[in-house]
Amino acid sequence: MNLDKKTPWSIPDLKAPHVKTIALRLEQQDAVAIFRLNENEFLCVYSNCAVYVNKHGDVSRSVIMEFVGHAKAACLLDSFLVLFDNDFVEIRDATSGRLKQIVAGRDVRCLDDGRGGTGNNGSRTVKFALQHPEYVGCQIVMELVKAER
C-alpha cells in the first residue's frame, strides 16, 4: 500500500526492462511470504524461488534464489530462511541464498514459525512435524535450534 496516495501496488515492480528475466521466472509462481532482511531490503519468497527487493519495491539484486523444493510455507529465523516442502525442510542463508541444510521427511508441516514466542533458552525456534519413518500413523515433532559456535 502506498501510504502517500493510499493506493495498492504490487512488489516487486517487474515492469522495468532490466528485470524481464526475473519477471518471466515469477510469472507462474505462487507468493508464499515476504520478510524484512534489514532496513533497506526485503526478501519476496515464492513457491520455487525468492527475489530481493529494496524498500521502494524495486528488485535490488539481479540474482534469483532458486529452491531445491516447492515451498508450501516459509519463515525467517535469525538470518536463515526456512522453507517447508512436503518431503523436506530446506534451510538457506537469507542474505546470500546459500543452501545450509536439508531435513528429509514425509508429510512435512510447519507447526510454529517462531513468531509466537521463545524456546527454553529464550530464543525463537521453529517447530515442524513429519511422518515417522518406521511407524505408520505416527509423527515426529522437531524443533530447529541455532547451534552455538
Do 12 and 58 meet the contact criterion of CB atoms below 8 Å apart? yes
Domain boundaries, the chain: 1-66, 69-149
Do 53 and 63 meet the contact criterion of CB atoms below 8 Å apart? no
Place of cell 514466542: 117
Alpha helices in the chain (DSSP H): 20-26
Residues contacting residue 120 through CB under 8 Å, at least 6 positions apart:
none
For the full predicted model, state whether its pTM sits above 0.75: yes
Model confidence at 73: pLDDT above 90 = yes
Which pLDDT tens digit goes with each residue over 6-54? 677 677 877 777 788 888 888 888 999 999 999 999 999 999 999 999 9
Which pLDDT tens digit goes with each residue over 108-141? 999 888 876 655 556 778 899 999 988 888 999 9
Mean pLDDT of 52-60: 88
Q: How far apart are CA 116 and CA 112, in angstroms?
A: 7
pLDDT in the model for residue 27: 86
pLDDT in the model for residue 116: 66
pLDDT in the model for residue 88: 94
The amino acid sitting at 108 is: V
